[in-house]
Structure 1
Amino acid sequence: MKILAISSRIPSSGKKGDQVVSFFRLMHLARSNTVVLVCFGDITKAEDREAKQALEALGIVVHFVLWKPFVALAHLLKAIFNPLMPFQCALFQSGKFKRRVNTLRIGFKPDALYCVMVRVFPNIAQNKSRVFVDMVDSMGLNFSRRVSMAKGLKRWLLDLECRRVCRFERNVALQATQSFVVSKIDQKSIGIDKVHAIPLGIDMQQFNKNRGNPKPGPVIAFTGNMGYQPNIDAVQWFIQNCWPQIKSLIPEVQLIIAGSNPHPSVLTFGKHDSAIKVTGRVPSVAAILNTASVAIAPMQSGSGMQFKILEAMACATPTVTTSLGLGDISATPGKDIMVADSSPDFIQAVLSLLASTQLSAAIGDSGMEYVRNHHSWEAINEQFVEICGIS
């Protein structure tokens, strides 16, 4: 079968959530199908070139379209007067992208289109082929949770985008042959029968128990894209509500915040407290997790399923999250993972793991087994191709 994939970002096993999901989907599809990808990318950037080479090594043909900020701004301004167009999607509208897709439709003659997230869907709106949309998360649910935390003008703007996004992703789900999210909670939020929930997978070769030389003293780790608002909210909540008491009881404790694009507010925490280290992008998230005593994911907003939680569990690092962070992960609280929503409970969960090597090892090892048994990319992608009817 011939498959034409389109994405706003180049799929990559070491990048953001949608890029990781699409990388492993395409790797699976390329085994038995001919796959061509069109995505925004810049061949002059080393990280884009490396990601392109990794896909080409799998037999995938990659076409880059350069994302131009002035073009994006023009579409963004037009979207102000179009209540049906989310600003998220306007940013990735591109005449050049559409033309490249249409040229490949004529020359390549794909049997199906695989669309990564709804952001690029306007570029294939007139398509009559089978279309499979990997929404990954419900952006509508994500925005609705962020609206509840915002105030003033920011709340008004988020609410405006939330209403647009909710309407748009439902329309996409109705138009697509099948759509996919990583959580039943997101599936229910969209509320369309053709949306299927398939959980995230984890690369077990990359994320595994490998303690090596752990850092001296207790280390708490938070990992993730630190330019992403739900991650910023989570770190701010923990530092404001939990960190002072934990540090007062364990003065030698360290907090590592590892992830690309750290927001200025996150960088400020590291400048004001020498026990907090904001690393920015790191060569290996697994290495950070394997040196940590405890991983935290105190999510207060966001949607979907959290890679950061599954990655920490895969490394046998005992993990503490909130009910919102746990979401649709079917791990057992108190056995595979610790779950706490109030700051006193979250503090107690972290302290109990730091205080007891026996409890820490039990939670860590049980969490690792859970991920191995439930989040294999191979098994998850078999579900995907079966629903799509692709060999």
Structure 2
Amino acid sequence: MEPNSTQKEPLLFLCHRIPFPPNKGDKIRSFNILKKLNEKYEVHLGCFIDDPFDKQYVNTLEKYCASLFYLDQHKTLAKLKGLRAFLTGKPITLPYYFDKRMSQWVNRTISQHTIRKLFVYSSSMAQYVESDDFKQLSSCERIIDFVDVDSDKWRQYAQKKTGIAKWVYEREYQLLAQYEDAVCAKFDHSLFVSPDEASLFLQRQPINQQGKVHGLLNGVDIDFFEPNSAFADEALLPNTPYIVFTGAMDYWANVDAVLWFVNYVWPIILHNNPHALFAIVGGNPSAEIQALAKLQGVVVTGRVHDIRPFIKQACCVIAPLQIARGIQNKVLEAMSLNRPVVVSTMAMEGINAQSDDGVVITDDKEEFAQACLDYLLESNANERAIYNREWVIEHFTWQQTLKPLDKLFSLEQEVSS
């Protein structure tokens, strides 16, 4: 595909997953950053497609890029590639996302377009532009968006495992942390999804690296998540008051959150309200999640065309995250649609809204259950004065949160923390 503009400075954008459609956490962030960078730069995008469903959106994505290169990623093969890490002493993440064809395209694109600005989304893609062996990299400005401190997720996973699994996860935590630190030392700026994430990462960094680390908040498309909109899928909704959890249901942290809720909170809710309904809404539900559909009052929808009506009509939206890093888009989206949210402390990290009539923050199963029961009793919670959308508009529009990108590659000026 030919560049769509000769007036913009070229920029290489590497992403571990195609940043479209923006229907899950990492893709929402990467797409909005891509769209923002496209305003100023001629973007050359390299990415993987790990879900065949997303391939239909390649043509839509091309309008945001001067050129687009993608590779299909087969998860089983990628996992086998990841096992090479045990022979090389690397974190599993690196061989999982390495492909020689991607490396060749990166080097060719940098040379052909005389690219001097690189934006890397996620630590797994830094391997393509972190080696000083490629001489042109020495003159490039390199920015990485780690998003979350991924190594700390592996630390959290390790705490929940035993035996060989615990050893594998602990190994990945240690080696990935070392790699993250090495990338930070080589790159010009390291971005994280919130000041809290940036602060966590800074604890590991020497003083001379700390000025490179910044928070860049997530945002919400408040026009898309507008509570007064009419939605085509409303006829598919449950016809009784319900609680909802939304998210990619093959993602460990989401699976873990739903299992915690079903095991510890849902029995309390059913004991007090036998007619209660819990809808789990999101694509690619794991076998564990699919099995929950056999339980009383639990509905597993799988992928839906539009998640908004399921949020809009829910009595409350829950986010009982037990393993988490960064800002939870699912919480921001629910708040933008002005729905009550019942969340764990981890799920509210970085959003920092306070408990009120529309926000309940608790890690206690009894309190979590009681909050859900209260909202169910009100049928649709519109009887309360809910100010969640106002909070989002004040703090989390993409226009506000991505403003630091305007100065991202001006190294004389600091990126806002």
- Contact preservation (8 Å) 1:335, 1:367: no
What is the match of residue 218 of structure 1? Answer: 241
Q: 1:9 aligns with which of 17, 39, 49?
A: 17
SS of residue in 1 equivalent to 2:356: coil
Structure 1 Cα separation of the partners of residues 381 and 101 of structure 2 = 56
Structure 1 Cα separation of the partners of residues 80 and 187 of structure 2 = 27
Q: Decide whether aligned partners of structure 1 residues 334 and 149 sit closer, same or farther in structure 2, where only a CA change above 3 A counts.
A: farther
| Pairing 1:78–2:84 present | yes
Q: Decide whether aligned partners of structure 1 residues 147 and 19 sit closer, same or farther in structure 2, where only a CA change above 3 A counts.
A: same
What is the match of residue 389 of structure 2? Answer: 368
SS of residue in 1 equivalent to 2:353: coil
Once the two structures are superposed, residues 208-267 of structure 1 have per-residue CA deviations (whole angstroms, 9 ceiling, x without a partner) of: 214756743321000011111111111111111111121222222111001112111111
- Contact preservation (8 Å) 2:37, 2:405: no
Q: Decide whether aligned partners of structure 1 residues 152 and 132 sit closer, same or farther in structure 2, where only a CA change above 3 A counts.
A: same
Structure 2 Cα separation of the partners of residues 300 and 68 of structure 1 = 29
Q: 1:330 aligns with which of 352, 355, 361?
A: 352
| Pairing 1:177–2:177 present | no
**Which deviates more from structure 2 when the two are superposed, residues 380-389 or residues 153-162?**
380-389
Q: 1:187 aligns with which of 198, 211, 218?
A: 198
Once the two structures are superposed, residues 340-374 of structure 1 have per-residue CA deviations (whole angstroms, 9 ceiling, x without a partner) of: 111011111112222346965546x3111111111
What is the match of residue 57 of structure 1? Answer: 63
| Pairing 1:165–2:180 present | no
Structure 2 Cα separation of the partners of residues 371 and 155 of structure 1 = 38
Task: Count matched residues.
Answer: 386
Alignment TM-score, normalising by the size of structure 1: 0.92
Q: Decide whether aligned partners of structure 1 residues 361 and 120 sit closer, same or farther in structure 2, where only a CA change above 3 A counts.
A: farther
What is the match of residue 22 of structure 1? Answer: 30
What is the match of residue 282 of structure 1? Answer: 304
Once the two structures are superposed, residues 22-47 of structure 1 have per-residue CA deviations (whole angstroms, 9 ceiling, x without a partner) of: 111111111122111011238x9452
State the Cα distance separating 1:291 from its structure 2 match.
1.8
Structure 2 Cα separation of the partners of residues 46 and 232 of structure 1 = 21
| Pairing 1:116–2:118 present | no
Q: Decide whether aligned partners of structure 1 residues 198 and 266 sit closer, same or farther in structure 2, where only a CA change above 3 A counts.
A: same
Q: Decide whether aligned partners of structure 1 residues 211 and 49 sit closer, same or farther in structure 2, where only a CA change above 3 A counts.
A: closer
Once the two structures are superposed, residues 174-233 of structure 1 have per-residue CA deviations (whole angstroms, 9 ceiling, x without a partner) of: 211111111222212222421211211111122121475674332100001111111111
Q: Decide whether aligned partners of structure 1 residues 262 and 71 sit closer, same or farther in structure 2, where only a CA change above 3 A counts.
A: closer
- Contact preservation (8 Å) 2:103, 2:128: yes
Q: 1:40 aligns with which of 30, 43, 48?
A: 48
Q: 1:259 aligns with which of 282, 299, 302?
A: 282
State the Cα distance separating 1:100 from its structure 2 match.
0.3
Amino acid at match of 2:248: N
Structure 2 Cα separation of the partners of residues 115 and 138 of structure 1 = 15
- Contact preservation (8 Å) 2:148, 2:197: yes
State the Cα distance separating 1:336 from its structure 2 match.
4.8
| Pairing 1:388–2:409 present | yes
Q: 2:375 aligns with which of 350, 353, 375?
A: 353
Any gaps of 5 or more consecutive residues in structure 2?
1-8, 132-136
What is the match of residue 214 of structure 2? Answer: 196
Q: Decide whether aligned partners of structure 1 residues 71 and 6 sit closer, same or farther in structure 2, where only a CA change above 3 A counts.
A: same
| Pairing 1:378–2:384 present | no
Once the two structures are superposed, residues 122-172 of structure 1 have per-residue CA deviations (whole angstroms, 9 ceiling, x without a partner) of: 122223211111111110121122222222222221111111111111211
Q: 2:102 aligns with which of 80, 97, 112?
A: 97
**Which deviates more from structure 2 when the two are superposed, residues 74-83 or residues 96-105?**
74-83
Amino acid at match of 1:277: V
What is the match of residue 242 of structure 1? Answer: 265
- Contact preservation (8 Å) 1:261, 1:280: yes
Structure 1 Cα separation of the partners of residues 380 and 104 of structure 2 = 60
- Contact preservation (8 Å) 1:292, 1:317: yes
What is the match of residue 209 of structure 1? Answer: 227
What is the match of residue 336 of structure 2? Answer: 314
What is the match of residue 155 of structure 1? Answer: 166
Any gaps of 5 or more consecutive residues in structure 1?
none
**Which deviates more from structure 2 when the two are superposed, residues 185-194 or residues 369-378?**
185-194
| Pairing 1:31–2:42 present | no
**Percent identity (aligned):** 25
State the Cα distance separating 1:21 from its structure 2 match.
0.9
SS of residue in 1 equivalent to 2:84: helix
Amino acid at match of 1:304: G
State the Cα distance separating 1:120 from its structure 2 match.
1.3
Amino acid at match of 1:121: A
Amino acid at match of 2:219: G
Structure 1 Cα separation of the partners of residues 379 and 404 of structure 2 = 38
State the Cα distance separating 1:319 from its structure 2 match.
0.3
Structure 2 Cα separation of the partners of residues 63 and 178 of structure 1 = 25
SS of residue in 2 equivalent to 1:388: coil
